[in-house]
Amino acid sequence: MPRFILRRAYFATLTILLVSIVVYGVFSILPFDPAALTCGQKCTPAIVEANRIKLGFDKPLWEQYWLFLSGIFLGRTYGAGSAEFTCPAPSFGYSFNENTCVTDMLKEALPVTINLAIGAFVIWMVVGVGLGLIAAKFRGRYPDTLSSVFVLLGTSLPTFVTGLFFLIYVTIKWKIVPLSLKGYVSLTDDPVRYFQYFILPWLTLAILYAAFYTRFTRATVLETLGEDYIRTARAKGLSEKTVLLKHTMRAALAPITTSAGLDIAGLIGGAIITESIFNLAGLGRMTLQAVYEFDLSVVVATTILAAAVVISMNLIVDIAYGYLDPRVRIK
């Protein structure tokens, strides 16, 4: 098993590297001058040229990429002489618009996104898998029908509709959840504020995913219930509860885990719409802003980060699958 992990880790690293090359390459080919974007209205060619040299855009492409890559491990120094400044390792670049190292921006935005993703994940897994299980057990009867209504609504309503609904009605009109004007607080600092900040964005995301997982779980459980080994379990005299929760869920766990891992990985890339609606200072909103403002360093960094998360999650999920399904293990 450890050999299997090593093999996959090796290929995962290679893939991340490849992705970084491709992303960097794509952004560098874009038909506008990155240096020209660094200053706002009061731009002169002299400033543009100075910035170009400062940010290293005058160097050949491969050297730029190399500086970028090495910056992640060693930090990167921009400019020369008195105007010199360093973004310490890990450096993902420098944002002129915000006048900070990208890494610092990431440090601020990442916890928000991670909290958002994990919170929503917990809610949607509990609701989705639970409801799916109930729907499968009571197939054809009213719990199943009700859950399919929920599934239909959840998958058809786009996040901006549910999000806006929550924002406009629950927060503003009905004042059930107060408007979070203060921004992000961590769970440990102020639990009440923390929940107020996240509860509606969590629900917005969770409704969509829970609906999907209800349907997915129901289908997987029903499929498993038709297997011969479930008949054997009943023939041994096991109670329906044990048959369902121990034997059936154990088998259904593998595909559900795989899917869940990949979904949460995608979410960390940034739930752009939800973050925008609720004005959460996460990766998604950061990326969106950077796109509007042509802040290339930020966009490159967040893209590569999102890709790295997805690739790593793929690896973790594959390893987990090996634990869940012994037939797949390499001996």
Partner 1 sequence: MKNLLEIKDLKVTFPTDDGFVQAVDGVSISVAPGETVAIVGESGSGKTVTSLSVLGLHNRKVTQITGSILVNDKDKTLDIVSAPLDKIRSYRGRVVSMIFQDPMSSLHPYYKIGSQLTEAYLVHHPGQKEAANKKALEMLSLVGIPEPQVRAKEYPHQFSGGMRQRVMIAMALMNDPAVLIADEPTTALDVTVQAQILQLLKDLQKKLNMGILLITHDLGVVAQVADRVNVMYAGRIVEQGSVDDIFYSPHAPYTLGLLKSVPRIGSKGSERLKAIPGQPPSLINLPTGCAFAPRCEYISLAPENSCQSKRPDLLGTNDSHKSRCHIQEDKRDKTFTAEIKGARV
Partner 2 sequence: MSAPLLSVKNLQKYFPTSKNIGLRKQKLQVKAVDGISFDLMKGETLGLVGESGCGKTTAGRTILKLIEPTAGEILFEGKDITKLRPGLMTPLRAQMQIIFQDPYSALNPRQTVGKIIAAPFEIQKVTPEGGVKKEVAALMERVGLNPEHYNRYPHEFSGGQRQRIGIARAIALKPKLIVADEPVSALDVSIQAQVINLIDDLQRADGISIVFIAHDLSVVQHISDRVAVMYLGKIMEIAKTQDLFANPHHPYTVALLSAVPQPDPRAERTRERIILTGDIPSPINPPAGCVFNTRCWKAADICRSKTPELLTVGKSSVACHFPE
330: buried, middle or exposed (CB in 10 Å: 19+, 13-18, 0-12)?
exposed
Widest Cα–Cα separation across the chain: 84
Size of the site for partner 1 (CB under 8 A): 21
Shortest distance in whole angstroms from residue 125 CB to partner 1: 20
Quote the CA–CA distance of 2 and 288 in Å, as a whole number: 40
Question: Is 247 one of the binding residues for partner 1 (CB under 8 A)?
Answer: yes
Please pick, from the candidates 233, 283, 304, 309, the single residue that binds partner 1 as defined by CB under 8 A. 233
Residue 247 or residue 285: which is nearer to partner 1 going by CB? 247
9-14 long-range CB contacts below 8 Å, 24 or more apart?
A: 9/315, 12/311, 12/312, 12/314, 12/315
Residue 190 or residue 240: which is nearer to partner 1 going by CB? 240
Question: Is 324 one of the binding residues for partner 1 (CB under 8 A)?
Answer: yes
**Minimal CA–CA distance to 277: which of 160, 187, 172, 175?**
160
Quote the CA–CA distance of 192 and 136 in Å, as a whole number: 37
Please pick, from the candidates 29, 46, 83, 330, the single residue that binds partner 2 as defined by CB under 8 A. 330
Residue 101 β-bridge partners: 94
Terminal-residue alpha carbon distance, the chain: 7
Shortest distance in whole angstroms from residue 1 CB to partner 1: 14
Question: Is 226 one of the binding residues for partner 1 (CB under 8 A)?
Answer: no
Quote the CA–CA distance of 215 and 141 in Å, as a whole number: 15
- The answer to whether 115 and 198 are in contact (CB under 8 A) is yes
Query: Could you say which of partner 1, partner 2, none residue 4 binds, taking C-beta under 5 to 8 angstroms by partner kind?
Result: partner 2
Please pick, from the candidates 5, 114, 238, 319, the single residue that binds partner 1 as defined by CB under 8 A. 238
Question: Is 321 one of the binding residues for partner 2 (CB under 8 A)?
Answer: no
**Minimal CA–CA distance to 266: which of 250, 251, 283, 280?**
283
Shortest distance in whole angstroms from residue 235 CB to partner 1: 5
User: What is the contact mask toward partner 2 in residues 5 to 44, using x (rule: CB under 8 A)?
Assistant: -xx--x----------------------------------
Q: Looking only at residues 104 through 163 of this chain, which bind partner 1 when binding is defined by CB under 8 A?
A: none
144-147 long-range CB contacts below 8 Å, 24 or more apart?
A: 144/218, 147/214, 147/218
Shortest distance in whole angstroms from residue 319 CB to partner 2: 14
Question: Which residues of this chain interact with partner 1, rule CB under 8 A?
Answer: 227-229, 231-239, 242, 247, 250-251, 254, 324-327
Binding residues vs partner 2 (CB under 8 A): 3-4, 6-7, 10, 330
